Amino acid sequence: MIIVTRIGVTEEEIDHIRERVESLGLRTHLSRGESRTIIGCIGDEERLQNVPLLSIPGVESVHPVMRPYKLAAKEFSARDTRIALGEVELGGSELVVVAGPCSVEGEEMLMQTARSVKASGARALRGGAFKPRTSPYSFRGMEESGLELLAAARVASGLPVVTEVMDTRQVEAVAGHADVLQVGARNMQNYALLTEVGRVHRPVLLKRGLSATIQDLLLAAEYVMKQGNMNVILCERGIRTFETATRNTFDVSAIPVLKSETHLPVLADPSHAGGYRYLVAPLAYAAVAAGADGLLVEVHPTPETALSDGDQSLDFDEFGTLMEALAPFVAAAGRTLAPREQPAET
Ligand code: PEP
Ligand code: MN
């Protein structure tokens, strides 16, 4: 921690600052400038975390040297974390695509979607059974029966499933049916939920909050990891800005920043970021070029009848086209893509 004193700080004030820091078991180092003095604090920075240093007379600003997150920090792990997802590893050489409807709406649509996205090269099926909706009057998901459909789709297709958990009371049921627990953007700072999903043995897909900084996202991941669950997947899904032409603003720079700050795998969600079908492909290309480990894409058999997020959902053909169009971007990024299944001979 580095403490910068205000101009004209007195010797008594400097002594007091040093005494305060040293009383917590740290050493101090003074560097005197023309008008300011810099006090370097040497030792366990965590001990200073809850001390209101700015309120000590003479202190102008305080600068942490170490990152506030530890388990999620790049330095914590000798190699980048890889998370097994069915037949592949997220965070490895393959760009992993997770696809499926925004919401589970019924058995037929889910089974059809699972078959189709798998044939196009998706490695996991997504679909919400519990839906966080801005309006309480919107469709809020099939809940437990949606979880059962997901579990059935998993058996039928062989694809692992990713689904959202919104509440601590749902964690057990969701973990009992799904392979990956999604914590949505609106719940990224629900610390009780983060703690609870940290206690289960299922990877957690953590979406960036609408107004969360990259550091907020990493600290949310830290909550999960602190409970012992180190398998956290981060997801950039767009943030809220003044721009209204897109549903959110896709923060493409978050991807390389996260890749350099943490060992955790990073997904990008071009569907929620853009909010419109025509933006999904260009944002997906950008994400791959920026170094994302995978993509989360909304796909629906008939987007025009979707009960949620139809405007940003691709139909089966559009998803197949996207997977083909991604190939050169994936190759340029030095990664591989799952092979597409050959259509059956007629
Ligand atoms: C979703 O994935 O359908 C979803 C609700 O995402 P987000 O939490 O990013 O809005
Ligand atoms: Mn959605």
Are 88 and 55 members of one domain? no
Task: Indicate whether 166 and 56 sit together in one domain.
Answer: no
Measured over the CA atoms of residue 60, residue 65, residue 66 and residue 69, the dihedral's sign is positive
In three-state secondary structure terms, 268 is strand
Q: Which residue reads 């994400």 in tokens?
A: 287
Measured by CA distance, the residue closest to atom 1 of ligand 1 is: 102
pLDDT of 76: 87
| Residues spanned by the domain of 105 | 83-337
- Assigned token pair, 229: 């669950």
Domain count within the chain = 2
Note whether 136 and 267 are same-domain residues.
yes
Is residue 111 in some structural domain? yes
Tell how far the Cα of 327 is from the centroid of ligand 2, in angstroms.
25
User: Can you list the alpha helix ranges (DSSP code H) found in the chain?
Assistant: 11-22, 107-120, 144-157, 171-177, 191-197, 214-226, 254-261, 270-274, 277-290, 316-332
Residue 24 shares a structural domain with residue 147: no
Q: What is the rounded CA–CA span in Å between residue 191 and residue 205? A: 15
Identify whether 294 is part of a domain: yes
Question: Does residue 70 belong to any structural domain of this protein?
Answer: no
Q: Report d(CA 174, CA 328) in Å as an integer.
A: 36
Q: Are residues 31 and 100 in the same domain?
A: no
CA of 337 to the centre of ligand 1 (A): 24
For residue 163, the CA-to-ligand 1 centroid distance in Å is 10
Of 158, 110, 126, give the one whose Cα is nearest residue 271. Answer: 126
Question: Are 26 and 58 within 8 A, CB to CB?
Answer: no
Radius of gyration of the chain (CA): 23
Of the three residues 64, 96, 112, the one that is the final residue of a domain is: 64
Pairing of strands 294-298, 204-207: unpaired
DSSP 3-state assignment of 85? Answer: strand
Instruction: Evaluate whether 235 touches 258 at the Cβ level (below 8 Å).
Output: no
Same domain, 223 and 293: yes
Q: Which ligand is nearest to the CA of 98?
A: 1
User: What is the rounded distance in angstroms from the CA atom of residue 4 to the CA atom of residue 47?
Assistant: 18
pLDDT score, position 32: 85
Per-residue pLDDT at 344: 66
343, part of any domain: no
Within this chain, do residues 104 and 164 fall inside the same structural domain, yes or no?
A: yes
Full pLDDT tens readout for the chain, 346 residues: 889 999 989 999 999 999 999 999 999 988 887 778 889 888 888 888 888 999 999 999 998 877 889 899 998 888 899 999 988 999 999 999 999 999 999 999 999 999 999 999 999 999 999 998 889 999 999 999 999 999 999 999 999 999 999 999 999 999 999 999 999 999 999 999 999 999 999 999 999 999 999 999 999 999 999 999 999 999 999 999 999 999 999 999 999 999 999 999 999 999 999 999 999 999 999 999 999 999 999 999 999 999 999 999 999 999 999 999 999 999 999 999 998 887 766 5
Q: What is the largest CA-CA distance in the chain?
A: 89
- Mark whether 45 and 164 lie in a shared domain: no
| Centre of ligand 2 from the C-alpha of residue 105, in Å | 12
| CA distances for 78 relative to 89, 198, 249, 308, angstroms | 17, 22, 33, 41
CATH code for position 33:
3.30.70.1140
Check pocket membership of 310 for ligand 1, CB cut-off 6 A: no
Examine the domain organization and report whether 28 and 158 are in the same domain: no
Q: What is the CATH number of the domain that holds 105?
A: 3.20.20.70
Single-letter residue type at 159: L
For ligand 1, say whether the CB of 335 is within 6 Å of any of its atoms.
no
In this structure, which amino acid lies at residue 187?
Answer: N
Q: What count of other Cβ atoms lies within 10 Å of the Cβ of residue 272?
A: 25
Which one-letter DSSP state was computed for residue 310? G
Looking at residue 302, its pLDDT comes to 98
Q: With contact defined as beta carbons under 8 Å apart, do 29 and 70 qualify? A: no
**102 in a structural domain:** yes
pTM of the model: 0.89
Alpha helix (H) residue ranges in 230-269: 254-261
pLDDT at 67: 84
292 is a domain residue: yes
Q: Are residues 34 and 102 in the same domain?
A: no
In a domain, 77, yes or no: no
Does 345 reside within a domain? Answer: no
Find out whether the beta carbon of 85 lies less than 6 Å from any atom of ligand 1: no
Q: Do residue 203 and residue 268 come from a single domain?
A: yes
**Are 145 and 43 within one domain?**
no
Domain boundary among 64, 95, 113: 64
Distance CA 172, CA 175 (A): 5
